[in-house]
Amino acid sequence: MKRRTAVLLGLIGLLVAGAGGYAWLKAPYAHSTAAGVAREFLTLLQEGRLEQAYELTLKRQSLVGRDLAEFQPFAARQLCSAEYLPLVGQPHPPQSNGNRLRRWLAGHEVEMPSVKLRFEKSPCLMTVELRRDGEGLWRVFYFQSRAG
């Protein structure tokens, strides 16, 4: 009887572990590092700290201006709200934990080359596109306010 119980508990444990693993593999990857950079960038813009915000961009390799003088009018045109803008929806392109694991096992780069994040608080919608710099850090490539 004890052996039967142990086998049954072992099977239940395997099923629970398998279900948990499957759920983890299918769960969307949050891109938390990229989202943190985008959040900090928007906060700096909203606070008017444009020099610090510009430091979070790819600078000459981005579409936000080759220098601070070009960045300032671009930022003023695109920033549509001084209120906190929450992150909404999934990053684009979507990526699951399983996709990242598959890419890692195949020896491919795990991180996407570009990630777009949406921030929204009616009536302001912002999209921030991030790319990695030469050191592998996420930097703002482009941002824009957009229509809903």
What b/e string do you get for 98-124 counting C-beta neighbours within 10 Å, with b at 16 or more?
ebbeeeeeeeeeebbeebbbbbbeeeb
- pLDDT band at 105; cut points 50, 70, 90: very high
pLDDT, position 147: 66
d(CA 88, CA 117): 8
Domain residue ranges in the chain: 29-146
Q: What is the rounded average pLDDT of the residues 74-92?
A: 79
Task: Say whether pLDDT at 18 is over 90.
Answer: no
Task: Compute CA 84 distance to the chain's CA centroid, rounded to the nearest angstrom.
Answer: 17
pLDDT, position 123: 73
pLDDT, position 84: 77
pLDDT, position 61: 81
Q: What is the DSSP string of the chain?
A: -HHHHHHHHHHHHHHHHHHHHHHHHHSBP--HHHHHHHHHHHHHHHTT-HHHHHHTB-GGGSSS-SSHHHHHHHHHHH---SS---EEEEEES--BHHHHHHHHHTT---S-SEEEEEEEETTEEEEEEEEE-TTS-EEEEEEEEE--
pTM above 0.95, yes or no: no
Give the percent of the chain with pLDDT over 70.
Answer: 97
Contact 92, 78 (CB under 8 A): no
- pLDDT band at 140; cut points 50, 70, 90: very high
Task: Report the mean per-residue pLDDT for the chain.
Answer: 85
d(CA 130, CA 147): 20
Q: Which two tokens stand for residue 120?
A: 């929204």
The class (CATH top level) of 29-146 is alpha beta
Q: What is the rounded average pLDDT of the residues 111-120?
A: 86
